[in-house]
Structure 1
Amino acid sequence: MANFQITPRAAFVESNELNFRSLYLFHTPLGSNQNQSGIIDSNVTTGLGATVVNNWPICDGPSPGATVVARAQGLHIYAGNWQNTFSITFGVERYVHICIRTY
């Protein structure tokens, strides 16, 4: 059973620590079940700027038959390191009121 904890900090809401236990994010860049796709190629000279959109499932277990409880939807950009921005939207009724954005 998936559970999570939100630990408030003495700062803005954006600084809360989110601790999800027993939830697993699956990204599949290749194959028939691909859940991310490149939309902009990197600059040939610098190698920077590759942009990929994603719709990663978040499941309540590590096995292929686990239940999808949320989706991480957004993009990642290569700027020397990969920078990720996505929203986590829960679809399971007990989590449906939670929407998390990462920046």
Structure 2
Amino acid sequence: MANPSNFQITPRAAIMESNELNFRSLYLFHTSLGANQTQSTVIDPNATTGLGQTAVNNWAICDSPSPGATVVARAQGLHIYAGNWQNTFSITFEVERYVRI
């Protein structure tokens, strides 16, 4: 199981205050097909350009890359295709010991 000290939070000052999150030994999983989907398209892409596809996600963040890994958090948000995928999500921890802010 991952050690909760395997991540660090670095305050950063820019136009607005933000934090840089650096996680080690945590793995993000997403499933777009099948019965256990963790993302879903809500806006189809433009038929000519492919741009604009938008999907919502509830991706699992686990403590190992193995199939039996424990879900410790969720990446909940959306992603939009605009030539490259742009992702925005909140990390919602489900395991209390990982919440150290």
TM-score bracket for this pair, using the shorter chain length = 0.7 to 0.9
- Cα drift, residue 17 of structure 1: 2.0
Contact 1:89-1:96 within 8 A present in 2 as well: no
Q: Which residue of 1 aligns with 2:70?
A: 67
Q: Which residue of 2 aligns with 1:95?
A: 98
Instruction: State the TM-score, normalized to the length of structure 1.
Output: 0.84
Instruction: State the TM-score, normalized to the length of structure 2.
Output: 0.85
Greater RCO, 1 or 2 (C-alpha within 8 Å, sep 6+): 2
Identity rate, percent: 81
Q: Count how many residue pairs are aligned between Structure 1 and Structure 2.
A: 97
Gap regions ≥5 residues in structure 2: none
Q: Which residue of 1 aligns with 2:51?
A: 48
Contact 1:39-1:52 within 8 A present in 2 as well: yes
Match for 1:27: what amino acid?
H
Q: Which residue of 2 aligns with 1:17?
A: 20
Q: Does 1:76 align with 2:90?
A: no
State the Cα RMSD in Å.
1.6
- Cα drift, residue 48 of structure 1: 0.8
Contact 1:73-1:88 within 8 A present in 2 as well: yes
Gap regions ≥5 residues in structure 1: 99-103
Contact 1:37-1:53 within 8 A present in 2 as well: yes
Q: Which residue of 2 aligns with 1:5?
A: 8
Match for 2:31: what amino acid?
T
- Cα drift, residue 7 of structure 1: 2.0
